[in-house]
DNA sequence: CATGAATGAGTCTTCATTCAT
DNA sequence: TATGAATGAAGACTCATTCAT
């Protein structure tokens, strides 16, 4: 793909996320997306084939970016510090891309949804990163017993999403640190 | 309102929830809703005036029902048992109305959303019920310090939603008790 | 179907035939058809579901009408007179519906075409009517041997189409009788 | 024109005929033609300026080729043998270029059609070749009186087209000789 | 009261054409 | 000379809403 096309695609992603935040993917029109990105409508179809194609590529793009951000703190020697850094990284991502977070929370639990086939493996990606970290935390004896790590990781992902959105939508004045500490405090993953 | 009209309205609500579960409110058409409910399209307009009118009435109906279910366990003399019963009641509601839960998670954090004006006061209702219960738990010394009760209640509501949806969509085989215990274990409210 | 809907459909058929004559079905837009018929565009979709649906119904409508016209002279006791009357009936139909004739000649020999599945059985209908008549002519000893009746009937149908169109497009001044006699003279189906 | 360009143009012609056979000229896109011919889309515009330019060149190319094929048997000293050879040559051409034949039958009788201005003189060419031959047949006393030769030639052209298409589309198993003999038998030109 | 045929503004999509490289 | 990314006017189709019956 040419660098020019690459840039065009990224601009279409950003435009879509900005617009979908308040109205949802379905209610955003291709005309609006093209206008917001500063390209002609045909360009969307030249690059993605359809509105659905654009959405699918956007979901991949966003989730891959989030997973990459989450993976960075995994190497921290202190598991609890690493977990805190992951929570923080997630909050950073979600405040950078509130539109994408809104899209995720809207689309992730449809049964079956138009993009389930795309989203499921992507979600798996993220949950695995979190699960690995929780395993390290558990290995350090700092995770409550009785909850399967897979379940805890999935719950952590969902909780992060909704807490971040609560923060961004209803209490944008609070600092990221506050929110991060609240999440950690609400998780049982703190010292006994 | 006549009992017959009442029944028609309820059937339209149920049809809407069934259809919106996998596609979202915006993507569901009035034709489909009428067909699914077994009435003529004109009947929707006769009863609700518009699609938005139907949606608004549905949101009120669902949230009021959920709030009512949550309020019942508040009278339990043991705050922790009451909290557990509330979590359980929420899970019961969400498994009874998975479509409504999906609608909530899709619409609650739009900024600003088409139904924000309707949803915000309704959400307030639910969060307040949870906050009151958390206050009782805190009064019994069983809630970690440092997290404002309002924030904790809001987070609890979101977490309940996403954990319930995780359960219903991805692990429908698990029992409600398991899920409830996982939620309680993951909340710091199990301190001591 | 209500009489009102019936009338609407017929008007859409007539409008489509008028417009398709000079440009072909593909080049005619649904907007134009609706405007020509004096209804809103949505009415086309309410009645036929799609442009293709309209075209398919139109093909059925036109071919059935033609077959009906052709069947009338079959009862003539004189087979040659009956054949002449059939040729005449076909020419009458084609001069009444030149647009439909143009559609037929454009669509009949696509391989495979979008409406082949619809057209093939319809064409069979017409060819059978002609074949039956040729069989009566042959029974009276007035048809050359060596050409299968099926083939002759199919060829007669095609020839009628193109001769009628030659007449309507290039020599509209000639009378129908002249054209009919030319067709009959060019066919070997005349006295030996 | 360079030989290479000549080859490119011919490949675009062949691609267009292949694609237009089942869908018609209007429904075939420049993208498809370029892909089928194995060249970039820009090459079409480089060589023909527009889609219409390509189509016009194709019509000229095909009709000239057909006329050339038809002219060859005109020198046969036996007019009936020459006519039979012409019919045969036409059938050979149409079986070699079924797509072109389909284009002709679709476009020839539009009133007025997009390519009428191009097609009419071309058609005149072919009809004249046939008319000349019929004149020779009539000179030998083997053509029925009462049908103007111009009309008979035009009808013969149309009949050849539709009989050939009937053959190619509905009865591809039959031999060309059979079809040729059927055409001749059905023409009154076999008188005596 | 209820219906369903009809409406038309608004969407998604196509595709002939242009033009920078 | 050839390419293919980009364009935007135009076309197929949707769907909330209206209204005569």
Q: Residue B188: what pLDDT? A: 60
DSSP code, position C146:
T
pLDDT tens for chain A, residues 1 to 192: 788 889 999 999 999 999 999 899 999 999 999 999 999 999 999 999 999 999 999 999 999 999 999 999 999 999 999 999 999 999 999 999 999 999 999 999 998 889 999 999 999 999 999 999 999 999 998 887 778 899 999 999 999 999 999 999 999 999 999 999 888 887 764 444
Mutate to test the interface with A, among B95, B97, B99, B105 (most CBs of A within 10 A): B105
Q: Residue B190: what pLDDT? A: 47
Statement: residue C146 has pLDDT above 90: no
Ordered alpha helix ranges (H), chain B: 3-23, 30-37, 41-48, 51-71, 79-96, 98-107, 116-139, 149-165, 176-186
Cis bond upstream, residue D112 (ω within 30): yes
CATH superfamily for D3-190 is Tetracycline Repressor, domain 2 (1.10.357.10)
Looking at beta carbons, which residues of chain B come within 8 Å of A26? 24, 26-27
User: Greatest CA span in chain D, whole angstroms?
Assistant: 59
Statement: residue C191 has pLDDT above 50: no
Q: Residue C188: what pLDDT? A: 60
Instruction: Tell me how many residue pairs between chain C and chain D have CB atoms under 8 A apart.
Output: 136
Q: Do C159 and D155 touch (CB under 8 A)?
A: yes
Q: What is the average pLDDT across D82-110?
A: 97
pLDDT in tens, C38-53: 999 999 999 999 999 9
Q: Do B154 and A170 touch (CB under 8 A)?
A: yes
Q: Domain C3-186 is in which class?
A: mainly alpha
Q: Residue C185: what pLDDT? A: 82
Q: What average pLDDT does chain C have?
A: 93
Q: Do D23 and C110 touch (CB under 8 A)?
A: yes
Token pair, residue B49, equals 């005036």
pLDDT in tens, C99-143: 999 999 999 999 888 999 999 999 999 999 999 999 999 999 888
CATH number for the domain formed by residue range(s) A52-186: 1.10.357.10
Statement: residue C8 has pLDDT above 80: yes
Q: What is the average pLDDT across D1-6?
A: 80
Statement: residue B191 has pLDDT above 60: no
Q: Residue D132: what pLDDT? A: 97
Q: Residue A188: what pLDDT? A: 60
D184 confidence band (pLDDT: 50, 70, 90): confident
B144 confidence band (pLDDT: 50, 70, 90): confident
pLDDT in tens, B47-62: 999 999 999 999 999 9
DSSP code, position A143:
S
B91 touches chain A (CB under 8 A): no
A29 touches chain B (CB under 8 A): no
Whole-angstrom Cα distance, residue A27 to residue B173? 34
Q: Residue B192: what pLDDT? A: 38
pLDDT in tens, C92-102: 999 999 999 99
Q: Do A159 and B161 touch (CB under 8 A)?
A: no
Q: Residue A176: what pLDDT? A: 97
Domain residue spans of chain C: 3-186
pLDDT in tens, D125-167: 999 999 999 999 999 988 877 788 999 999 999 999 999 999 9
pLDDT in tens, B92-119: 999 999 999 999 999 999 988 889 999 9
Ordered alpha helix ranges (H), chain A: 3-23, 30-37, 41-48, 51-71, 79-96, 98-107, 116-139, 149-170, 176-186
Higher-pLDDT residue of B186, C33: C33
Query: What is the residue-wise DSSP string for chain D?
Result: --HHHHHHHHHHHHHHHHHHHHH-TTTS-HHHHHHHHTS-HHHHHHHHSSHHHHHHHHHHHHHHHHHHHHHGGGG-SSHHHHHHHHHHHHHHHHHH-HHHHHHHHHHTT-TT-TTHHHHHHHHHHHHHHHHHHHHHHHHTT-S-TTS-HHHHHHHHHHHHHHHHHIIIII-TTS-HHHHHHHHHHHSGGG--
Mutate to test the interface with C, among D110, D113, D165 (most CBs of C within 10 A): D110
Q: Domain B51-190 is in which class?
A: mainly alpha
Token pair, residue A2, equals 């040419």
Looking at beta carbons, which residues of chain B come within 8 Å of A109? 101-102, 105, 162, 165-166, 168-169
Residue B135's contacts (CB-CB under 8 Å, 6 or more residues apart) are: B149
Whose C1' is closest to the CA of A51: which nucleotide? Answer: E12
Whole-angstrom Cα distance, residue B73 to residue B84? 9
Query: What is the residue-wise DSSP string for B76-111?
Result: -SSHHHHHHHHHHHHHHHHHH-HHHHHHHHHHTT-T
């Amino acid at each position: 793909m040419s660098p020019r096309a690459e840039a065009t695609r990224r601009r279409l992603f950003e435009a879509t996320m900005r617009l979908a935040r308040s109205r949802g993917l379905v209610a955003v029109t291709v005309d609006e997306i093209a206008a917001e990105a500063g390209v002609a409508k045909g360009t969307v179809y030249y690059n993605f084939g359809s509105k659905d194609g654009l959405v699918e590529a956007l979901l991949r793009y966003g989730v891959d970016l989030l997973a990459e951000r989450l993976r960075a703190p995994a190497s921290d020697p202190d598991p609890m510090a690493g977990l805190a850094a992951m929570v923080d990284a997630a909050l950073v991502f979600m405040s950078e891309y509130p539109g994408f977070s809104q899209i995720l929370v809207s689309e992730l639990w449809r049964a079956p949804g138009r993009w389930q086939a795309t989203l499921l493996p992507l979600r798996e990606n993220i949950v695995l990163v979190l699960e690995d970290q929780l395993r390290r935390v558990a290995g350090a004896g700092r995770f409550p017993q009785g909850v399967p790590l897979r379940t805890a990781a999935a719950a952590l992902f969902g909780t992060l999403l909704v807490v971040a959105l609560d923060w961004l939508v209803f209490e944008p004045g609070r600092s990221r640190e506050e929110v991060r500490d609240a999440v950690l405090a609400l998780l049982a993953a703190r010292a006994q």
